[in-house]
């Protein structure tokens, strides 16, 4: 499909207007002038897919943009880029495939999808000359995907280690510092928009496992899926466990680790007692932190908000910027200014 963008307007089809989708709408409004100044393009949201058009929203959008028909978004000739933030795997995979196959670029925050089907989607994108971005899928606002994919793409890496789930880190921080119950802390994480629609994925460690499999795939240039990750969540942890650790000057964190061991890569997610002086022990609330160890540089560390509306949206907007810059360079794109 040849895409025509009129008067340097790039049309966005937004799938989902929940925590992340509403952040994208808000942030896109805020950055519009800078986007134009730096890329020569304006981004306009053309259609928004939701389940319930009557629902009260965190952001104001024209009701005329809302639709419950994916087809209306995916076949709109004014939609050049699809931003997928509905979550889940089944429908999201179908919509992302349809978008890529029809010549539309895709930006997604969906780690469930990328962890299971990233390879397939990348292949479809390659075949159709489209681009797939997923910076928001891991560690919220931290640009760790770009770092592994680009900055460290040629060097040999030994290990990726960190806290990659905001909800569990928020729960463990609250339980330890304020002695609130697991259930209360989880409820608060849900209210703040950190938790998944099904928070079992967070507390069981599965969300972190998905993210670690994505990071390991990039770091070690092989395809890993969540099935390759040894996972233990935090549901069995009690206040007493956290207090016992504190008495020994330790802090329990849900730590993800992917380490090269000869030809093998071992990937795990597990609650881990850390000395209070360890930098990861200082990572609180919904914050994430990721260490990357490489032969050429030793150790690097990345830190920032790992969940929530605007932090996640900022990663989506960063992907949009990258897409437009690559487009200006004439790469793999046939968007033509009208």
Residue ranges that bind ligand NAP, judged by CB under 6 A: 16-21, 49-52, 55, 85-87, 91, 109-111, 136, 140, 193-194, 196-197, 307-308, 312
Instruction: Based on the shown chain and the rule CB under 6 A, indicate whether residue 303 belongs to the binding site for ligand HSE.
Output: no
Q: Give the list of residues 6+ apart from residue 67 with CB closer than 8 angstroms, or none.
A: 47, 48, 49, 50, 53, 73
User: What's the closest the beta carbon of residue 19 comes to ligand NAP, in angstroms?
Assistant: 4
φ, ψ dihedrals at 169, nearest 5°: -65, -35
Do residues 295 and 176 make contact, with C-beta atoms less than 8 angstroms apart? no
Name the residue nearer to ligand NAP (CB basis): 194 or 287.
194
Q: Is 174 a residue of the active site?
A: no
Residues 279, 212, 166: CA angle, nearest 5 degrees? 55
Residue 37 C-beta-side C-alpha neighbours within 13 Å: 4
Which of ligand HSE, ligand NAP, none interacts with 18 (beta carbon under 5 to 8 A by kind)?
ligand NAP
Instruction: Please count the other Cβ atoms lying within 10 Å of the Cβ belonging to residue 32.
Output: 13
Which of ligand NAP, ligand HSE, none interacts with 20 (beta carbon under 5 to 8 A by kind)?
ligand NAP
Name the residue nearer to ligand NAP (CB basis): 167 or 250.
167
Instruction: Based on the shown chain and the rule CB under 6 A, indicate whether residue 196 belongs to the binding site for ligand HSE.
Output: yes
Which residue in the list 46, 174, 211, 253 is annotated as catalytic? 211
Name the residue nearer to ligand NAP (CB basis): 16 or 273.
16
Per-position x/- string for 147-176, each x denoting binding to ligand HSE as judged by CB under 6 A, each - no binding:
------------------xxx---------
Closest CA to 246 of 214, 279, 201, 276: 276
Orientation angle between helical segments 111-128 and 90-101, nearest 10 degrees:
20
Catalytic positions, written as ranges:
211
Report the interface residues with ligand HSE, using CB under 6 A.
Answer: 140, 165-167, 194-196, 202, 207, 306-307
């Amino acid at each position: 499909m040849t895409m025509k963008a009129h008067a340097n307007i790039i049309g966005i089809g937004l799938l989902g207007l929940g925590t992340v989708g509403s952040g994208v709408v808000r942030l896109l409004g805020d950055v519009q002038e800078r986007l134009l100044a730096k890329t020569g393009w304006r981004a306009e949201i053309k259609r928004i897919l939701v389940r319930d058009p009557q629902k009260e929203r965190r952001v104001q959008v024209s009701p005329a943009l809302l639709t419950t028909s994916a087809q209306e978004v995916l076949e709109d000739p004014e939609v050049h880029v699809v931003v997928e933030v509905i979550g889940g795997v089944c429908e999201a995979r179908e919509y992302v495939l349809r978008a890529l196959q029809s010549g539309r670029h895709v930006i997604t925050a969906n780690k469930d999808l990328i962890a299971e089907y990233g390879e397939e989607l990348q292949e479809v994108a390659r075949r159709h000359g489209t681009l797939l971005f997923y910076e928001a899928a891991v560690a919220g606002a931290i640009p760790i995907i770009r770092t592994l994919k680009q900055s460290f793409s040629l060097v040999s890496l030994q290990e990726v280690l960190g806290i990659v789930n905001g909800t569990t880190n928020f729960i463990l921080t609250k339980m330890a510092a304020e002695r609130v119950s697991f259930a209360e802390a989880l409820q608060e994480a849900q209210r703040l928009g950190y938790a998944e629609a099904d928070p079992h994925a967070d507390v069981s460690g599965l969300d972190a496992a998905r993210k670690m499999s994505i990071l390991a795939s990039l770091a070690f240039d092989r395809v890993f899926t969540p099935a390759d990750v040894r996972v233990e969540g935090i549901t069995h942890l009690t206040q007493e466990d956290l207090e016992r650790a504190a008495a020994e000057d330790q802090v329990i964190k849900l730590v993800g680790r992917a380490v090269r061991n000869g030809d093998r890569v071992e990937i795990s997610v597990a609650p881990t007692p850390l000395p209070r002086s360890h930098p990861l022990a200082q990572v609180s609330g919904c914050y994430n932190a990721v260490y990357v160890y490489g032969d050429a540089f030793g150790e690097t560390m990345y830190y920032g908000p790992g969940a929530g509306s605007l932090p996640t949206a900022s990663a989506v907007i960063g992907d949009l910027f990258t897409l437009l810059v690559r487009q200006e360079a004439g790469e793999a794109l046939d968007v033509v200014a009208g």
